[in-house]
């Protein structure tokens, strides 16, 4: 059974998965907050081309790779869906319309992440500028890609005037991979705007 993380909590991915993890998927999801004008109850269908209607929100997930000096080495986001070393791949838009599913998925081959990379920080940004007051049920989860079993989930209820969130970090510690639930609010249209806030967590 997947562990439900609290803000600030850290876990060992291999211990929670019952064995060494090499292929993981980090899924990020959210719903549009319900209001009387929102007849669709909309799950976000078009994150990358998003409609211009009032009930669509263009949220984008990103992953930034850091070295031991907290220097960003690479970033995986909607303008670069694959890391330069090939270990991380962003699958882009999820159009299932399933309210319980992932909106965006980032696949990570932990066995191929370069040795000089010590942490992967995952963020979500509101590219169109709507605040998280219009977003609910946000979460991020780690899934063992080999058997599709959920290892850990971090649910976020932080609605408010921010336009971004630093969700979680996957990092090396004593030769194993761990996950840290960060859940810090921030503001910015892309991860570039968040770098001053992200770096302390790297």
Q: Tens of pLDDT along 28-85? A: 887 777 763 443 333 333 333 333 334 566 778 899 999 999 999 999 998 999 999 9
Supply the pTM of this predicted model. 0.83
Model confidence over 123-173: pLDDT tens digits? 988 888 888 887 777 788 999 998 999 999 888 766 788 888 898 999 999
174 CB contacts (<8 Å, ≥6 apart)? none
68 CB contacts (<8 Å, ≥6 apart)? 116, 118
Alpha-carbon distances of 135 from 102, 104, 120, 149, 176, rounded to whole Å: 14, 15, 24, 26, 34
């Amino acid at each position: 059974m997947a562990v439900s993380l609290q803000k600030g909590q850290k876990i060992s991915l291999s211990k929670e998965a019952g064995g060494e993890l090499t292929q993981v998927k980090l899924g990020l999801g959210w719903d549009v907050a319900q209001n009387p004008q929102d007849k669709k109850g909309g799950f976000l269908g078009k994150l990358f081309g998003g409609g211009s209607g009032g009930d669509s929100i263009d949220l984008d997930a990103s992953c930034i790779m850091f070295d031991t000096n907290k220097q960003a080495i690479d970033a995986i986001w909607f303008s670069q869906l694959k890391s330069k070393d090939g270990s991380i791949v962003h699958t882009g838009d999820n159009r299932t319309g399933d309210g319980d599913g992932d909106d965006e998925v980032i696949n990570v081959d932990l066995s191929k992440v370069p040795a000089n990379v010590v942490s992967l920080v995952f963020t979500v940004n509101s590219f169109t500028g709507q605040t998280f007051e219009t977003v609910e049920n946000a979460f991020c989860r780690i899934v063992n890609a080999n058997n599709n079993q959920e290892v850990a989930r971090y649910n976020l209820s932080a609605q408010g005037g921010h336009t971004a969130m630093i969700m979680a970090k996957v990092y090396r510690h004593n030769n194993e991979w761990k996950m840290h639930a960060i859940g810090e609010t921030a503001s910015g249209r892309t991860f570039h705007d968040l770098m001053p806030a992200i770096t302390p967590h790297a």
